[in-house]
Amino acid sequence: MTNYPELFVLRHGQTEWNKIGKFQGVMNSDLTKKGREQARAQGRILKGLAIDMANTNCFASPLGRTRETAALALGDMDQSLWFDDRLKEINFGRWEGLTQTEMALGWPGAGIGGVGHDWHFKSPGGERFADMAARVQSFLDELNGPAIIVTHGITSLLLRGLWRGLSRDSMLAQSRDQGCVYHLSKGQEHCVWES
Q: Is residue 49 part of a domain?
A: yes
Render pLDDT for 37-64 as a digit per residue (tens, 0 to 9): 999 999 999 999 989 999 999 999 999 9
Q: Is residue 1 part of a domain?
A: no
Q: Is residue 146 part of a domain?
A: yes
Strand residues in the chain grouped as ranges (E): 7-11, 57-60, 81-83, 147-151, 181-185, 188-192
Q: Please state whether the predicted TM-score (pTM) of the whole model is above 0.75.
A: yes
Task: Single out the catalytic residue among 12, 117, 120, 152.
Answer: 12
Q: Per-residue pLDDT for 68 more than 80?
A: yes
Burial class (CB in 10 A: 0-12, 13-18, 19+), 107: middle
* Domain, as residue range, for 125: 7-192
Q: Is residue 2 part of a domain?
A: no
Note if 68 is an active site residue.
no
Confidence of residue 113 (pLDDT cuts 50, 70, 90): confident
Task: Single out the catalytic residue among 6, 68, 89, 96.
Answer: 89
Q: Is residue 84 part of a domain?
A: yes
- Work out the angle between the directed axes of helices 153-164 and 129-142 (0-180°, nearest 10): 60
Note if 120 is an active site residue.
no
Specify the DSSP element, H or E, that contains 123: none
Please report, for the domain that includes residue 36, its CATH number.
3.40.50.1240
Distance, in Å, from the CA atom of 39 to the CA atom of 89, rounded to the nearest integer, reads 18
Average pLDDT, rounded, for the chain: 95
